[in-house]
Amino acid sequence: MVDLVKRIENVPNRQRTVFSVPSAFLHFFSKTTSFFGAHSQPSTPSYNSLIMTDHATETTTTTISSSLLLETSSFGPLIIGSTRIRDTDGFVGTVVYVGSVASAKKANEEYAGIIWDDPTRGKHDGSVLCRKTNQVVRHFRCGLTQGSFIKVSKLDRGIPLTVELLQSKYVELQAPIIAPNNLLPHTALTSSGREKPIEFLGEMKIRQRQQLDDIYKISLRREGISMSIPLTENEDQQLRFQHIRDIDLAGNLFSDWREVLKIIQQFPNLTDFSIAYNRIQDVHSLPVVTPSLSNMKVLNLNHCGIMTFQSILWIAHSMPYLESLCVASSDLSDIDQQNTTLDGLFPSLKLLDCSDCKLSSWEKQVKPYFGTLPSLEQLSLDDNPVSCILATDGNNNDEKSFPSLQSLQLAGTAIATWSDIDGINHDLNLRALRLTYTPLTSNLGQGEVRFMAIARIPTLLFFNGSTISTKERMEAERRYVTMIAHLLIKVEHETVDDPTQVEDSKASLLLGHPQYKILLEKHSGLILPTSNQRNDGDHANKSSLASSVCNVTISSMAASSCSMEPLTRRLPGTLTVGRLKALCGRTFGLDVDLMSLHFRTEVSRSSHKKSPRYVG
């Protein structure tokens, strides 16, 4: 009973939106997906035994049902908080109570209390009105409209994975033609209300490509599969499935790791396996698989109710050569409480999706456990409360963390300032970064976020999924240096009477912008500083009037003046666009209101120095 109570307490207390793929008369195979995306946050269910509540005295009395485990058909016992069921409309739920119901006509009839994944599917919150006492009796807790009672004899616990099921999903060559003469037996209505026939070309070619004996990918999403049985006792038939390498069973009714392992072992050449959106939960006391499942390369466990990092360690030992592992919407908050790490494990892992896994510390949880993975290239930490990525102490002689990491996703994290991600530039060699829906980006425009990220992290080639061009990086770095230079000037003006305070304020400002000095040196010929300091790190020089102006060449592209010689002027950095347009209008005889300025930098062939150029 104690073990049962523990299993009840470990039931996941949240659900996520299930992405479904509708069935069709011709089912194309699909590759395993990672299920990154938006999630819902329904109410938190609580799996309790029978509770009677007297609202008048606000007292409760607890009784335990006499039938917590009940045999049904060939599926074995109903396990509280684990067994999954479905209804005729495709809604899926978890059995959280088995026993009599106080409101039932027959007091001795066995019912199953269900908490549906969809919080609006049920009729109550697990409580009913007792027929005898007219008091509220609570059998379990859930959302207000998330609970139901179903007779045990009427439960639909799904179907087994059989040869017949596989054959039914992929049309045989000898099956009747669906579209004789390339026309389906359906019509579509046009905008004028007329019926138009639907053509379906290449039916036989498609059939030939999706024959079960030829394809190596199988997709059986949301088929209600809940258990595995030996596909066949015939050795010739067993050889029929030797070529299957990719199986997608997302959104079914699996709730036990043993059934999952049976399926994996029935397909000896299986490399890619998705069991996402199946509440298989944690491994518990299941021994490590021996010999190991060395063929497995891709495993998708998103939304599977994993509640401890111990399950990840078990996977690391049982499937040591995984290259992609997705465990989104798990609870790995106990990762820093483990006595063992991933040192020496997952030597080939390249992609790890830990989105929404309740990881709160980069230094204590993420870096010590995932930073040792030698081949890790992509890491997703979306929707985790990670607040900062601090730079490693320069005196630390430990081996570098994340030696192969190239892509990092931080969408939905608790990053609040740019200084919180300085560790990215210091310790990592990132090529791609995703940073959205954070406190840092919530009050900034997309353009401002993008240029700041590009300027502060010089190794980035992609930001938020978009390529960073050479021109964009150049403009972002110039804008960044100009912005910091203006902030330094502002500090001088605000604390001009106290030289010591000026230097302290500047040092504090530059501490939060470690890339400024590097970029200032890189773009020294392009920036128009107006500050009285151009700091190279060791000394300062007073600026002159020449340092606040630059050479600008203006060429007209208008039809009436495109043949005129370009205008070259030394213009101050404080010149406004309006005044520049007025200058162009006078020189080339153009209407200022119709004028459009375009800016680019050019390199002089003689001096190899860059100078701004306006083309209008």
Where is pLDDT greater, at 158 or 46? 158
274 CB burial (10 A radius; 0-12, 13-18, 19+): buried
Looking at the predicted structure, is the pLDDT value of residue 575 above 60?
Answer: yes
Mean per-residue pLDDT over the chain, rounded: 80
Q: What are 462-492's pLDDT values in tens digits?
A: 999 999 999 999 999 988 988 888 888 888 7
Q: Is the pLDDT of residue 65 over 60?
A: no
pLDDT attached to residue 495: 64
- Report the range of poorest mean pLDDT among 7-21, 388-402, 492-506, 523-537: 7-21
- Residue 387 clears pLDDT 90, i.e. is over it: yes
- Residue 323 predicted with pLDDT over 90: yes
Instruction: Decide if pLDDT at 533 tops 80.
Output: no
Please compute the mean of the pLDDT values over residues 17-31 and round it to a whole number: 33
pLDDT at 17: 31
pLDDT score, position 595: 87
Q: Across residues 339-364, what is the average pLDDT?
A: 94
Give the whole-angstrom CA distance, residue 388 versus residue 196: 59
DSSP string of 98-144, one letter each residue: EE--TT-SSTT--EEEEEESSTTSSSBSSEEE-TTT--EEES-B--T
Superfamily of the domain at 1-41+159-185+203-362+373-386 = Ribonuclease Inhibitor (3.80.10.10)
Look at residue 134 and tell me whether its pLDDT is greater than 60: yes
pLDDT at residue 219, as a whole number: 93
Number of neighbours of residue 596 by Cβ within 10 angstroms = 9
Q: 115 exposed, middle or buried (CB, 10 Å; 0-12, 13-18, 19+)?
A: buried
Q: Which range, 111-125, 213-227, 256-270, 386-400, is most confident? A: 111-125
pLDDT-derived band at 111, boundaries 50, 70, 90: very high
How many residues belong to the chain? 616
Q: What is the mean pLDDT of residues 241-253?
A: 92
* Pairing of the two strands 59-63 and 50-54: antiparallel
Tell me how far apart the alpha carbons of residues 195 and 304 are, in angstroms, rounded to a whole number: 46
Task: Answer yes or no: is pLDDT of 416 > 90.
Answer: yes
Report in angstroms the alpha-carbon separations of 70 from 47, 79, 159, 229.
17, 8, 18, 21
The pLDDT tens digits of the residues spanning 587-600 come to 888 888 888 888 77
Q: Give domain 391-464's CATH number out of 3.80.10.10, 3.40.640.10, 3.40.50.620, 3.30.750.24.
A: 3.80.10.10
- What value does the mean pLDDT take over residues 219-248? 80
Is the pLDDT at 395 greater than 80, yes or no? no
Q: What is the pLDDT of residue 601?
A: 64
Q: Which fold has domain 42-157?
A: SH3 type barrels. (2.30.30)
Name the burial class of residue 557, with classes exposed (0-12), middle (13-18) and buried (19+) by CB atoms within 10 angstroms of its CB.
exposed
Q: Angle at the Cα of 172 (from 170 to 178), degrees rounded to 5? A: 90
What six digits make up the tokens of 575? Answer: 């010149």
Residue 305 to residue 278: CA distance in whole angstroms: 8
Within this chain, domains 42-157 and 391-464 share the same CATH topology: no
> Which residues of 222-350 form beta strands (DSSP E)?
225-228, 246-248, 272-274, 298-300, 324-326
CA distance 480 to 468: 16
pLDDT at position 39: 37
The residue-averaged pLDDT of 252-279 equals: 92
Assigned token pair, 104: 């039932």
Mean predicted confidence (pLDDT) in 166-194: 87
pTM of the entire predicted model = 0.73
In this structure, which topology does domain 548-615 adopt according to CATH? Ubiquitin-like (UB roll) (3.10.20)
What are the residue boundaries of the structural domains of the chain, listed by start?
A: 1-41+159-185+203-362+373-386, 42-157, 391-464, 472-543, 548-615
